[in-house]
Structure 1
Amino acid sequence: MSAAFRTSSSVRTVRTVQGNVEQGELGVVDAHDHLFFRSPLLPGRELDDVDLARQELEAYAAVGGGTVVQWTPYGLGRRAEELPALAAATGVHIVAATGMHQAAHYAPELLAARTADLAEVFVRDLTEGIGDTGVRAGLIKVASGFHALDAHARWTMRAAAEAHRATGAPIAVHHELGTGALDVLDLLCGELEVPAQCVILGHLNRSPDFVTQREAARSGAYLAFDGPSRANHATDWRMPDAMAELAAAGFADRLLLGGDTTTAGARSVSGGPGMPYLLRRVRPRLEATLGKEMVERVLVANPAEAFAVRWA
């Protein structure tokens, strides 16, 4: 595997689907969302309509959105070939992902055909392009299980760590119902020696355990509060208190916000909250608790750091 990542003589940028951009160009960032997503766990609810994706980006831009980070990984309909044109048409930067989700999200035949050297797949997506599209990914997405790391999760995280060492790309982690963050950190940052500041822990708002959240933030990893407007996941109403608790403990620079739209009906243009909800409803609520300056930091400065890497 070629070493595409260098620790010196390189510039910190964020890799979007249109190429590398400087950190300050991202604007307001939805740090975890999906324009396209397809899973056998969500039959008939696929995000696969290009025109609706464009409309959703336009609605997001209309309320001040500047960048969307799509966490859709390998094999789940990420539609990489469509992303540059969508970014150009709407003026919204898009960051694409490589990586692999939980095994349950894949058809058995796809898992059966998986390559033993998964890290090579990730590195190729990051350095050469996804498939034959030439569109390069800007992060690696993997997933843990519910309070546990199964063999599939450990396999994908080892591949992610190897790809990170080769490219410098950040690693973003789905946590099932917000659980298992400390086990993930033990594996990625302990055993596999990935710097914690290169790890983004997703969905921690879904398990409102302030003790675990503080410990995770203390590691230096980023904590993504993503997937708002899901009342069954204890998100919106506890989010201000959780973020205030972390800020008071000195971890305001570790916080990110995302929408995590995963089904067609959840798009704002289809009647759901969608991407604009993050700025239209969640942002004012957080500003009332945290203040505008801190929320601006969470939406602009923090993701600019979290998703920036030293690309060769």
Structure 2
Amino acid sequence: MSKVNTVLGPVAPEELGVVAVHEHVGYGMPGSELDTRWWKTPEERYAETVPKLRRFHEYGGGTFVDVTGICNGRDVDYYKSLSAKTGVHIVACTGFVGGDTALPFFERAGVDYLTRQFVHEITVGIGGTGSRAGVIKVGVSRGGRMTDLDLRIYRAAARAAVSTGVPILTHLAIDAEPAVAVFEEEGLPLHRVLFGHADDGLNAPNTPDTWLAGRGGRIGFDTFGYETELEDPPFWARPRRERLAHLLGFLGKGFLDQALVSADANCSPLGWPGVKGHTVNYLFEELIPDLRDAGLDEATITRLLVHNPADFLTIQN
């Protein structure tokens, strides 16, 4: 039977519903939980997060993919509680947001060790939670070039993906050629990789989205809501209409089946204030209306938010 790993156990792909494929319950850099300026009690984090996930569920959202990764605040027991409380399926990840977020223990690890770590979290469980990871996270470190550690993580992720059938999701798709080379060397078809943040304002000009799609890769337009029109926009912000036009242009080139959308929001950020007013619910409150206004029909919108992510997340053994 086809399945997707969630924190409360495997579910059938057709049960996922609308999927927010690149999100965070709470993301922070290693050590951020010790920063007294931004520290929150578990009760405060819970009170901040539950209403957002409940609203997501009320809008029709079915599945929230948390791609926080090892060392960045991943808390699977917390995710299990949130999922049970709100009715939202939560998919947890193994892997790292980027090599520069890996603590020294993992920074010193070789490919074989990292592969075993990823495979264990996918097939046995994350820590003592009993919950299995449903996706592998990898990423390009700050600086915009793949580091030796990034490449080790990518290679380990590729081997784990081939072994387990779980897909890979990337933080950034810049410096893509070394990543593609690793995946191809390890025998991983690129349709099992979602190359993320193709649409962010800082990196979009350096992201070869159509080249990646032409080779079979999936492309994440997953920073919707980070707009220059905000009162205090982040450095990766982009004009709202420009980002939407980028997605529409990509779809117009025949890549509908390879496009996925999300907001990359934080329900309760760790070690930083987050972006005021930006939540996963941007998908329902702004993006879907924008897509309709642009002339996309309901079948196309369903493809972007339901069918494409379900196909991507389904374990392929």
Same fold (TM over 0.5): yes
Alignment partner for residue 89 of structure 2, among 77, 86, 93?
A: 93
- 1:186 counterpart residue number: 181
Change (3 A) 1:115 1:133: farther
2: CA distance, partners of 1:161 / 1:211? 21
Which letter does structure 1 place at the counterpart of 2:197?
A: H
Aligned pairs for 1:148-167 (under 5 A) are 148-167=145-164
Taking the TM superposition and a 5 Å limit, the aligned residue runs for 1:250-265 are: 250-262=254-266, 263=269, 265=273
Q: Which structure 1 segments of 5+ residues have no match? A: 1-10
CA distance in 1, matches of 2:251, 2:283: 19
Mapped pair 1:288 → 2:311: no
2:247 alignment counterpart = 243
Between the aligned partners of 1:79 and 1:119, the Cα distance in structure 2 is 21
Q: 1:243 to 1:174 in 2, by over 3 A?
A: same
| 2-structure distance, mates of 1:13, 1:274 | 27
**What is the count of residue pairs matched by the alignment?**
295
Closer, same or farther: CA 69–99 of 1 in aligned 2, 3 Å: same
Which amino acid is the alignment partner of residue 215 of structure 1? Answer: W
Instruction: Give 1:51 shift.
Output: 3.4
**1:205–1:235 CA contact under 8 A, matched in 2:** no
User: In the alignment, residue 288 of structure 1 is paired with which amino acid?
Assistant: D
Q: 1:184 to 1:46 in 2, by over 3 A?
A: farther
Q: Residues 119-268 of structure 1 correspond to what in structure 2 (within 5 A)?
A: 119-145=115-141, 146-175=143-172, 178-188=173-183, 190-206=184-200, 207-209=203-205, 212-230=208-226, 231=228, 232-233=235-236, 234=238, 236-262=240-266, 263=269, 265-266=273-274
Q: Percent identity?
A: 29
TM-superposed CA distance for 1:112, in Å, is 5.2
8 Å contact from structure 2 (residues 151, 179) kept in 1: no
In structure 2, what is the equivalent of residue 4 of structure 1? none
CA contact (8 A) 1:225 1:255 kept: yes
Give 2:308's aligned residue. Answer: 302
Q: CA deviation at 1:290?
A: 4.7
Give the 3-state SS of the residue equivalent to 2:10 in structure 1. strand
For 1:23 and 1:46, the matched residues in 2 are separated by 37
Could you tell me the TM-score, scaled by structure 2's length?
0.84
Contact 2:91 2:134 in 1 (8 A): yes
Letter in 2 for 1:174: H
Q: 1:149-195 CA distances to partner (integer Å, 9 max, x unpaired)? A: 110110101110111122011011111xx52234322322x222211
Question: Aligned partners of 1:110 and 1:187: how far apart in 2?
Answer: 20
**Secondary structure, in 3 states, of the residue corresponding to 1:37?**
coil
Structure 2 stretches of 5 or more lacking a match? 229-234
What letter matches 1:260 in structure 2?
Answer: D
Distance 1:290 1:69, change over 3 A: farther
What is the deviation of 1:209?
A: 4.1
Residue 279 of structure 1 aligns with which residue? 284
Normalized against structure 1, the TM-score is what?
0.86
SS at match of 2:241: coil
Q: Secondary structure at the match of 2:3?
A: strand
Tell me, in whole angstroms, the C-alpha distance in 1 between the residues paired with 2:190 and 2:111.
Answer: 27
RMSD: 2.5
Q: Which amino acid is the alignment partner of residue 259 of structure 2?
A: L
Quote the Cα distance in structure 2 between the aligned partners of 1:59 and 1:105: 31
